[in-house]
Structure 1
Amino acid sequence: MGLSNLGLFHTVVGVVAIIAAAVDFTKVGKVDLSQLTGKIYFYGTLITSLTALGLSKAGGFNVGHVFSLLIVILIVIAYVLHIKRPGNNKYRYYENFLLSLSFFLSLIPTVNETFTRVPVSKPLAAGPTDPIIAQTLLVLFILFVLGSVLQFRKQKKINNAIRQD
């Protein structure tokens, strides 16, 4: 697959982070930083994003590096909201959205790299502009939007229930 040691480490940590987020989305409908899976997602994503800065197929700084920096910013802001504003429920909207957005953005290079490398003998996509990549990302974007709406509604119910107590 042509991965360097850094690339292999980056991939393994990234896959673990994505699995942790998927477990959280399945169990509680969001990445929950107070749970072990949420912490694994946070730290795994942080490590994956930072190690991505040392990787480049094309050489030099590229759009993938911009994604990595943006993802770091999103998860750090979400983390700060999580620890600095634990009793303020309006901040949960932002925290949940930022973590979900970071997850979606993480999937863009993940889909691109996976589809252009797997299976090794005949990858699913010929390159980043292959229609299968665009179609997959469109489906993931739709799921992100729907998931964000559901998270917003769930958080609103929680906030309303707290106000009534």
Structure 2
Amino acid sequence: MFGISPLGWLHTLGSLPAIPLAFYMFARHGRIVPRSVPGMAYFAFMLIGALTVFLVAHQPVSNVIGAVTLLLLLVGYGIGRLPSLGRAARYIETICLSLTAFLLMVPTVSEVLRRVPDGHPFVTDPKSPLLLGSQAILLVALVLGVTAQIIYLRRHGKAAGATAS
């Protein structure tokens, strides 16, 4: 079905739960919160997806996306444990984890458009306006989302500093 191998299904179904988890955390907290139950589940599902992409990828760019996603995921989840970075750690964590969600959504949207409906996909050409428009929308959402997150973190940090004085 959809031309996906059994290993491809493992990759797809292993990483798919990360999408609603990311949306939940963005809606609830405005960011992916690594030290929470949904955050730990997101980490596990993203790790499955990032590691299995190397087994199913047919294009070199897929391996690059997988490696970058893995790096951002590890930095995003590890940076908060470095007390020497102070507030900067929260900014780096937020940006890295938002980028992982973006790097999950770009191939997800592309693959859905290129495989659904089965046998007659919406997109057959990689330069299709629908595909390129979808990717552009994701990029705009990333830029606006990360900007909003940084503004929120700055305001929240200043408010916390003002009440501590």
SS where residue 17 of structure 2 aligns? Answer: helix
Query: How many Å separate the matches in 1 of 2:21 and 2:83?
Result: 23
SS where residue 149 of structure 1 aligns? Answer: helix
Q: 1:140 to 1:9 in 2, by over 3 A?
A: same
Query: How many Å separate the matches in 1 of 2:71 and 2:123?
Result: 30
Q: Which structure carries more helix by proportion?
A: 2
Equivalent residues in 2 for 1:134-149 (5 A)?
Answer: 134-149=132-147
- What is the number of residues matched between the two proteins? 162
Partner amino acid, structure 1, of 2:72: L
Query: How many Å separate the matches in 1 of 2:7 and 2:33?
Result: 28
TM-score norm. by structure 2 comes to 0.91
Partner residue of 2:112? 114
Query: Any gaps of 5 or more consecutive residues in structure 1?
Result: none
Query: Any gaps of 5 or more consecutive residues in structure 2?
Result: none
- CA RMSD after TM alignment: 1.6
Partner residue of 2:37? 36
Partner residue of 2:128? 130
Percent of counterpart pairs with the same letter? 28
Partner amino acid, structure 1, of 2:86: N
**Shift of residue 45, structure 1, vs aligned partner:** 0.8
**Shift of residue 87, structure 1, vs aligned partner:** 8.6
Partner residue of 1:13? 14
Query: How many Å separate the matches in 1 of 2:41 and 2:72?
Result: 16
Partner residue of 1:53? 54
8 Å CA contact 2:72–2:97 kept in 1: the answer is yes
**Shift of residue 122, structure 1, vs aligned partner:** 1.4
Query: How many Å separate the matches in 2 of 1:143 and 1:95?
Result: 18
**Shift of residue 47, structure 1, vs aligned partner:** 1.0
Deviations 1:79-107 (A, max 9, x none): 11123349922211110001001111121
Q: 1:152 to 1:6 in 2, by over 3 A?
A: same
**Shift of residue 144, structure 1, vs aligned partner:** 0.8
Partner amino acid, structure 2, of 1:10: H
Partner amino acid, structure 2, of 1:6: L
Q: Which 4+ stretches in 1 moved above 4 angstroms? A: none
SS where residue 34 of structure 1 aligns? Answer: coil
Partner amino acid, structure 2, of 1:112: S
TM-score norm. by structure 1 comes to 0.91
Partner residue of 2:23? 22
Deviations 1:55-112 (A, max 9, x none): 1345xxx101100000000010111112334992221111000100111112121111
Partner amino acid, structure 2, of 1:110: T
Partner amino acid, structure 2, of 1:105: L
Equivalent residues in 2 for 1:67-106 (5 A)?
Answer: 67-85=65-83, 88-106=86-104
